[in-house]
Structure 1
Amino acid sequence: MMPQETEENSLSSEMLESLAAIRKKQEDVLENTINKTLLALAPEEPMTVSEWAAEYRYMGKNETSRPGLWRNELVPYLVDIMDSLNSDSVEQITFLKPTQVGGTECGINILGYIIAQAPCRVMYVLPNKDAMEDFSQDRLQKVLISNDCFKGKYAAGNSKNAMLRYAGGFCKFGSAQSPTDLASWSVPVIVLDEIDKFPKMSGKEASPLKLAEERTKNWAGKKKMFFWSTPTLKTGHIFKLYESADVRYEYRVPCPFCGEMQPLAWKYVKFDAHQPATVVEHNAYYECCHCHEHITDKDKPDMLLGGRWFPLNECDGQPRSVAYGLNSLYSPWVTFGKMAAEFVRSKNDPLLLMNFVNSWLGEPWESKSAVMDADIVIQHKTECPMYVVPEWCQLLTGGVDVQKGYMYWKIDCWGPGTTCQTLAYGKALNWDELEQIMDTTWTGEDGVTPYQVCIYGIDTGYRTEEVYDYCWRHQGVAFPVKGSSTQMAAYLRPSNIEPKMPGRMPLQLWIVNTDQYKNEIAQRLENPIGRGSWMLNKDCDLEFAEQITAEHRIIDDKGHEHWVKKTSAKQNHLLDCSVYAFAMADLVNMRALQDVIIDSTPAVQPEQEQQAGEMVIPEPQFKI
């Protein structure tokens, strides 16, 4: 072989090796690209909502006092509720919840999971437009922007408050007050938040719950309907759904001493209900219903972690609707003492007590006051006679119900704790007689101390111009009042009346939320005689009690509560007078009255502990 041929063969061999190396590298790159593509196209490993939240949901400083990844072990009772989205058989999930148990974050996790893992159409309905925009803008959108797992999925630039768009679907927000919002889209998933604040009817359409549910009827076998809310009354939406669920669940936890599983129940929170709230907060504890050991707040995290949901009932086959109920005792952010202190602050005020039952116990308010009975009212008579002012009284107010040829009148005594007692009542035949009654000086129980009515309200339903004229002549003491014909949030609000006679100042007419005042009178009649009660004097007769109980509370087709006259009742004038006297007491800030110590001898406090669940009212510091 010639030298030149040998050199060419050698060069050719090197080139072939180089080409082979290049080809091998290209093949490796191609293989890696194919593998990455196949990996990207491969379905992700199935995850539940709670697993996804623990791996991807980051909570910032503005969302929690413990920023960082979501921790299921902090609120283990939410795991099953979140994971109900992954249950094929369950279509309806109801959460009867109090405040401070993480309910809102539970909903955000469910929405986050859908956007990141199982994109589809979602409708999220809140009570009104303001609540809808606040939740979308201030809660959910901030989560979608701040969590990396939503990058490339959430289309922030193509979204607005009422419509959040993401790859594979959208979240449409709606107001329960707008039928249009609830009738525009077909969706497999709906979330209805705080449904006890929803109206019974949406505009002139059907119930907003029904309208929203209609949006899912084309998704048989795939639909999910979430209903959650703090309860109000037993007739409210959430409690009805809770009661009608195929299976209702109760979260039970193990006792750290005996290990027995039990629900956290309010009646086992132990404290002295006669102590101030600040003292109760540091002394309350929980008693095991089995071994009776004292359980403290430091035991609660382990108890919650060891807990699980137990069914309270059974159903045939797989349940299609499930319901979960909690109270604030389960909350890792609420101590036993904090709950007890809240009860102590609320127990003497019917409105605060109702909020405690709804928002802390997670239970519907059930008041016996929907129907008042004269025989019960007459039992609220004290030993103080008619026309004598009890020694605890700090002011007198009056109410007048004007009729065609006469006027019913009533004067009430007011003291600390919104305590009320009837001083006197009757019928005046003319304005001069009414003026004389309201100018009367009344004597206290000591036979010396003088009292006078400081303010009184006169109904303008009849003889309106006469009422205005009388009130102009008694400005600052006599005020015209009128019951509201529409729903009111406030107890009362002013409206100016321009005078027809020159030289007179405008007169202030007060619009009164009569339903709310009647609610409170009825609720305070449930309190024992003493502080915070609504009482009669010793000489009030059965006719008086029958007038006070001449109405009962009903719920109309729109879900609004009203007091209406019983069909068997004859007159309700003194009830109206009581409402006006109550409204006038509020006008002079009666609820801010403070206790005056009359007897220097300290009251003897009961030594025995009181179970909070019994809601016993302490004895008043003043004499009845």
Structure 2
Amino acid sequence: MALACARMATFAHRAKAFLVSTPTIRGLSRIEREYEASDQRRFFVPCPHCGEMQWLKFERLKWDKGQPGSVHYLCDSCDQPITESAKATMLAAGIWRATAVAEDPGTVGFHISALYSPPGWQSWESIARMWEAAQGNDDALRVFRNTVLGETWVESGEAPDWQRLYDRRETWTNGTVPAGGLFLTAGADVQKDRIEIDVWAWGRNLESWLVDHIVIDGGPEKAETWAALERVLGQTWQHANGAALKIARLAIDSGYESSAVYTWARRMGVGQVSPIKGVEGFNRSSPVSGPTYVDATEGGKKVRRGARLWTVAVSTFKTESVAALAGCGRPVEGAGYPRL
């Protein structure tokens, strides 16, 4: 997005960037960050009883438990119940108003929820029914908050205290595989001037240990950088039982210089290397999807559908990592870090 905005500079004041998205998780949602940096406009509608202008909030939608048909909206000002039959008139008299001062005066932001759906679309009764049906199911509640209310989802629980995490460090030599490790995987992040690799050992119940962190100096435009990464694939790490383990699978982020990543991955083969691309959003049922086929280059020639790309719902894994570190979710034993 930053690159697209930079390219619009040519058009000066005539340039416009239009960002539209459903929010995801609080603190991880890009559209949330963009909206909070804007003037945060809301659609204000008049109360049919007192005329007070207000924007509709889910907390003001009331109904008798188990009876969504009794739903009504309580005015912010006079507390009088507003039935949905008044909504069409309210919408016709509505107006957008800024509720904040934008960081950039040229940036405006608009937020609207399903509470504003016009007659014949999603009703307040159906929204109340969806809310009741979602109770007790975090996934359903998250979908409701994201898609019906247009709000970010706040994960339950808090990040663990740093001292508690620090005290959970285990003792083993950096660069070796602990006794519980069964196989190795690695993740590579390509940057402008280097490639950084984390090597992880995995055991039962998703227990994992950070075995090594490797930094390869040099940008992706240099052949020697990729040669060094290829040598990492052939490297071995000694297991506590004396065996030598190689990396079973390496995932490499294609977010930077994707064409160079695809070309190298194609040369290495699909058996050990998987290009990946992080996508925003929360998908617990399928956090990794693919592969899709993308073009690569071989011998200076473009190869259509020459590489296989996997997409990763990063918010899912970030959330699970926080839950695991807080001791309220998988992995059962958690992640191990060596004492330095």
TM-score by length of 2: 0.49
The structure that is helix-richer by fraction is 1
Q: Larger Rg: 1 or 2? A: 1
The structure that is strand-richer by fraction is 2
TM-score by length of 1: 0.28
